[in-house]
Amino acid sequence: MENDKLIEEIMKYSHSFGKNVSVSFLRAEVERRLQEIYDQKNIFISTGGSRAGLLAAITAIKGGGSILAARNCTKEVFDALSLNRRKVRYLYPKELFPDSLIYGSVQPAEVEAALQAHKDIDAVVITSPTLEGVVSDVEAIAKIVHRAGAVLIVDESYGAHFPYHDDFPVSAIYLDADVVVQSPGKTLPIPDQTALVFVNTDMELTRKIKVALNSFTAADASAFLLAGLGYGINWAYDNEKAFTDFLADLKDFRNKFSRIEAVTLMEKEEGIFDLDPSHMVLFSDKMDGQDFALFLEEEQNVAAEAFGLDHMILGNTVLDGKDRLKKIYSALLASTLKFKYRQPKTLSEKQLEQIAILTIQPLDKEYRDFVYITPPGCPLIAPGELFTKQRKEKILEFINKGLNVEIWERYFS
C-alpha cells in the first residue's frame, strides 16, 4: 500500500469516530479492539516503537540477579540492558554459515543448562523471529523458564503478522511467553514508531511495565499513530485472503528458485526450529553482499533489508503484492549475465575512525562496550567478552567490506 493511500485510509478510520475525536477516546477504542482481535487482556500501546516496549519490559524485571540474553538479540534489547545496568549472561545460538552472523534458533536445552548453572537469573530474553526469519521453540523455552521461576521476554518485532494466518509460525503471545513485544509497522499497514506490548504474567509485573512504558513514551500519544494502529489491525483481521494469497506467492517463489544459477535461498536448515517464509536470505557466490543488494536495487528498484559479507535479506510483506516477487525473480534469473559490480570501495571518514578506535584497543582484555552490525543489530562483541586478535580482524574485515558497523563508546567504556 502506497504511503499516500495508507494516510488516506487512516484518516478515514479516525474520522469514523467523528472529526474532533479525542486522543483518549481513540486510545480506548483501539485498546478495546486489540483485546477483541488478539483475545488478550493486557496489551499496551507503545508510541516509542519496540525500543520503548523492550526498555519498559526489562526495566520492570524485579530482583537484583542477572538476565540471560541470546547473543543474537537486537540492539534495542542490549540498549535496555545497558541503561538498566543489569548483569547479563549470554546464550550463544549456533551460527548457521561461517561469518554470516545468521544464527539458528535458541535451543531449549541450552536455556535449561544456563538456568541450572546460574540460579540468579531473573529473566530470559530472546528474539523470535530474527530479521532472517528464524523462529525459536518459544513454548518449550517458556516451560523451562517458568520452572526456574524466571520471566520470558520475546522480541517478536518482525512477527506481528503471525497471528493473522495459520500457515505462519504461531505467535509467542499464544505460547506462554510472559512479555511479547511486536512492531506491527514492519509487516502490516501501520505507521512505524508504533509497537504492542503483550503481558501474560502476574499483575505486579504488568503494573510495572505499564508504569515504565508511560515513562518512556510521550504523555500525549499521537492521534495519527493511534488511528494508524487501529486501522492496520482491523485491515489485517478483515483480510485473511490477502495473507492466503501472499503465502501462496511466497511458496511459488521458493518452488521456482532452483532455476536460478549462482544464487541460493536459505531454507529450514538444521538448527532452525521454524522459519518465517516472508523473510528471504539470498546467498551469492559471485558478489559480496553489498554489491548483491546494489544489483537488485538498480535492476528492479527493490531495496534489501540488510546485507552481510556474501548475502542479503529481503523482507516481504502482505502489502508488497505478487509483482514485487516477480520483479525479484526476473532479476535473479538473469543475474548470471549481469554480475558486474565488484567495484573498488573507498573507506569513508567514519570507517577510518572506526579502524582507529579498534587499533588502540588492547588485545585479550575484556571489551567494555558493544560493536554492532546494523541491521539487524546483533553484537559482534559485547561487554565482558575478550577482544581477541581474531575478533579484531573479523570486525576490520566487515568494516573494509562496507558493512554498517557501529562501535559504541558509551556505558561501559
Beta bridge partners of 281: 313
Q: 354 pLDDT band (50/70/90 cuts)?
A: confident
Predicted confidence at residue 413, as pLDDT, reads 41
State the chain's mean pLDDT as an integer. 88
Of residues 97 and 143, more confidently modeled: 143
Rounded CA-CA distance 306/298 in Å is 16
Rounded CA-CA distance 274/278 in Å is 12
Rounded CA-CA distance 30/395 in Å is 45
Question: Model-level pTM?
Answer: 0.92
Predicted confidence at residue 2, as pLDDT, reads 63
What is the mean pLDDT of the segment spanning 269-298? Answer: 87
For residue range 188-237, list pLDDT tens digits in order: 999 888 999 999 987 899 999 999 998 888 766 788 899 999 999 999 99
Contact 160, 166 (CB under 8 A): no
Q: 24 pLDDT band (50/70/90 cuts)?
A: confident
Rounded CA-CA distance 202/142 in Å is 15
What is Dmax (Cα atoms) for the chain? 64
176 residue type, one letter: D
Rounded CA-CA distance 235/247 in Å is 17
For residue range 367-393, list pLDDT tens digits in order: 888 888 877 777 888 887 899 999 999
User: Which residue, among 107, 63, 106, has the nearest Cα to 87 in the 3D structure?
Assistant: 63
* First-residue to last-residue Cα distance in the chain: 44
For residue range 311-328, list pLDDT tens digits in order: 899 989 998 877 888 888
Contact 114, 94 (CB under 8 A): no
Q: What is the 3-state secondary structure (H, E, C) of 85-144?
A: CCEEEEECCCECCCCCCCECCCCHHHHHHHHHHCCCEEEEEEECCCCCCEECCHHHHHHH
What is the mean pLDDT of the segment spanning 172-192? Answer: 94
Of the chain, the percentage scoring pLDDT greater than 70 comes to 94
Rounded CA-CA distance 338/158 in Å is 32
CA atoms within 13 A on the CB side of 158: 24
Residue 342 has pLDDT above 60, yes or no: no
Contact 81, 108 (CB under 8 A): no
What radius of gyration do the chain's Cα atoms show? 22
Rounded CA-CA distance 16/7 in Å is 14
For residue range 285-299, list pLDDT tens digits in order: 777 888 888 888 887
Contact 137, 170 (CB under 8 A): no
381 residue type, one letter: I
Residue 301 has pLDDT above 90, yes or no: no
Q: Is 366 helix (H, G, I), strand (E, B) or coil?
A: strand
Q: Decide: residue 404, CB within 10 A, 0-12 exposed, 13-18 middle, 19+ buried.
A: middle
Q: 412 pLDDT band (50/70/90 cuts)?
A: very low
Rounded CA-CA distance 108/110 in Å is 5
Distances from the Cα of 31 to the Cαs of 184, 212, 224, in angstroms?
15, 18, 15
Peptide bond into 169 cis (omega under 30): no
Peptide bond into 129 cis (omega under 30): yes
Rounded CA-CA distance 169/135 in Å is 8
Rounded CA-CA distance 46/226 in Å is 10
Residue 160 has pLDDT above 90, yes or no: yes
Strand 405-407 with 371-373, pairing: antiparallel
The three three-digit cell numbers of residue 411, written as one number: 556505558
Of the chain, the percentage scoring pLDDT greater than 90 comes to 50
What sign has the CA pseudo-torsion 387, 388, 392, 398? negative
Predicted confidence at residue 145, as pLDDT, reads 98
Q: 15 pLDDT band (50/70/90 cuts)?
A: confident
User: Which residue, among 327, 281, 356, has the nearest Cα to 100 in the 3D structure?
Assistant: 281
159 residue type, one letter: G
Of residues 341 and 161, more confidently modeled: 161
What is the mean pLDDT of the segment spanning 268-281? Answer: 93
